[in-house]
Amino acid sequence: GKHRMEARRLHHVAPGAEKFVHEKCLPIVIVRDPYHWMQSMCKSPYAAHWRHGPHRCPNLVPSKRDNEKWDNIVFDQKELHTKDATTRNDDEGDSVTPFQVKITFDKDDIEYFDSLIDLWNEWYRPYWKNKDGYPRIIVRFEDMLMHAPVVM
């Protein structure tokens, strides 16, 4: 279905598409470069939630002000992502951990990512690696904009 992780492509059915044989559907994946994709997520985050505000988005690495503002706002401990977030030191030597991203597809379908760029990587990587060997088409968003007649 539209806007689902690759692992769910045969396990999620969009309303009205129940009659189709999903193994015979050709996935067409449009990939936007991560920088502009993150800017777009700031405008329309869909089901993604992470600590950011209009003053600083996508807010990949929190500032001291961000940490003070959002220090008491954490995801429920039982829902925390199982991967360890990468912690680095900033220019002043303070420990910096990227803001975690939570996506709620449905009440029983919630995913966690270490950061917004981790979400981008984990979203597109399975289509690129294609471990199941199914046919798919991957198109760069920028190519559709700049060279639509050739791409289409």
Mean pLDDT of the chain: 81
CA-based torsion, 97, 86, 37, 112: positive or negative? negative
What would the pLDDT profile of 41-70 be if each residue is shown by its tens digit? 999 888 898 887 777 788 777 777 777 776
Higher per-residue pLDDT: 102 or 88:
102
| DSSP helix/strand/coil, 31 | strand
Say what percent of the chain tops pLDDT 70: 80
Least confident stretch, 4-8, 68-72, 113-117, 131-135: 68-72
Q: Is the pLDDT of residue 87 over 70?
A: no
| DSSP helix/strand/coil, 59 | coil
Banded model confidence at residue 88, pLDDT cuts 50, 70, 90: low
Higher per-residue pLDDT: 86 or 110:
110
Q: Is the pLDDT of residue 1 over 50?
A: no
Q: Is the pLDDT of residue 18 over 60?
A: yes
CA max distance for the chain: 58
Q: How far apart are CA 66 and CA 140, in angstroms?
A: 33
